[in-house]
Amino acid sequence: MSNDELYAAGLLNRALDPATQPPQIREFLQAEVELLTDLVVDGMAMVDVGCGTGRHLAMLRDRLRIGVGVDYEHAYIAEAHRTAGTGHLHFVTGDATRLPLRPSFDIATCLTNSWGTMSDKPAVLDEMRRLAPTPMRLLSVYAEASIPARREWYRRLGQDVVNESAECLTTNGGFRSEHFSEDRLRTLVGECTIRPFAGIAYLVLF
């Protein structure tokens, strides 16, 4: 199966169940929450690329002037609509390389290594730059240090790792998730600021 098929089968929902998460993964996810709480201020407009079920935008709903989440998996967008209700949060099924939005956002994010599962990474970055013209665009991606924790996490999800390379892990179910070095990130992203994050990841501001 492909990443698309696995996500359609509900892999994300299982992965977000704390019972499936090794401690380092739980700490990483909590660190993302704390980062956004510190970074996003009242009145911001935010777009979250690869938003899944919209958990980050839902958490920030009382601060945001407008929040838009985009994900290619329609089932996740439908769930985001159900949980967010009406108001200033909006969720759209769409392709991260051709986002159906106009450039009017204060911050663009792609979190929890969503970028590390996307095939056309440069096009996603271009869209984030277009939508948030000021330099407030943020990726969180896995570092090589994440490999042991991810191996255990994927095993708990029924996705045993069968291949490990310098750039990705691939499971017996076909799930493919990349990890990055600072050098590779600079090659892919261009001008950016990179800092270690939560012991197993990087934050990339570009």
Global pTM value? 0.93
* Range with the poorest average pLDDT among 32-41, 71-80, 140-149: 71-80
pLDDT of amino acid 86: 67
Amino acid 87: pLDDT: 81
180 CB burial (10 A radius; 0-12, 13-18, 19+) = buried
Q: How far is CA 28 from CA 41, 146, 199, in A?
A: 22, 10, 8
Dig out the tokens for 142 from the structure. 């896995």
Report the top-level CATH class of 3-205.
alpha beta
Q: Spell out the domain ranges in the chain.
A: 3-205
Mean pLDDT of 63-74: 95
Mean pLDDT for 21-48 is 97
Residue type, 190: G
CB atoms within 10 A of CB 75: 16
Average pLDDT along the chain: 94
Q: Is the pLDDT of residue 10 over 90?
A: no
